[in-house]
Amino acid sequence: MTAETAVALPALVLFTAALLWALGAAGAQIRCVDAARAGARAVARSEPVAAAEAAARAAAPDGARVTVARSGELWRVTVEASAPGPGGLGLTLRAGAAALAEDTVGAVVP
């Protein structure tokens, strides 16, 4: 029984550490998605770009990069954050959201 425990215990510890890291990365990804949506909503309501970036940064993980750009009738917000991993195996998490600009709603296209 002790030999089996000595073999299984390190595998169990490694599995638990990987599971905790994956759950942390998934949580950070969800925060990136929420942050991108918050920024897109803010800028679509004709709030200043700086206010939209601040709204996105407030919801994003620490150290995230927020990009706000207009593309035609859409405002696009992208949030990128790093999720450090074990042994230098980190990930770059990325989420984007788009919203129709309020000033184009009901506009007549010639």
pLDDT of 76-110, one tens digit each? 999 999 987 776 778 899 999 999 987 765 554 55
- pLDDT over 60 (residue 11): yes
Say if 110 falls within a structural domain: no
pLDDT of residue 106: 55
The tokens for 86 are 């074990």
What range defines the domain where residue 82 resides?
Answer: 2-104
Say if 48 falls within a structural domain: yes
Report pLDDT digits (tens) over 55-81: 999 999 999 999 999 988 899 999 999
Say if 109 falls within a structural domain: no
- The single residue listed with the structure tokens 């990930």 is 91
Query: How many separate domains does the chain show?
Result: 1
pLDDT winner (highest mean) among 5-9, 31-35, 90-94: 31-35
Mean pLDDT of 47-55: 93
Task: Give the C-alpha separation, 16 to 26, whole Å.
Answer: 15
pLDDT of residue 46: 87
Say if 66 falls within a structural domain: yes
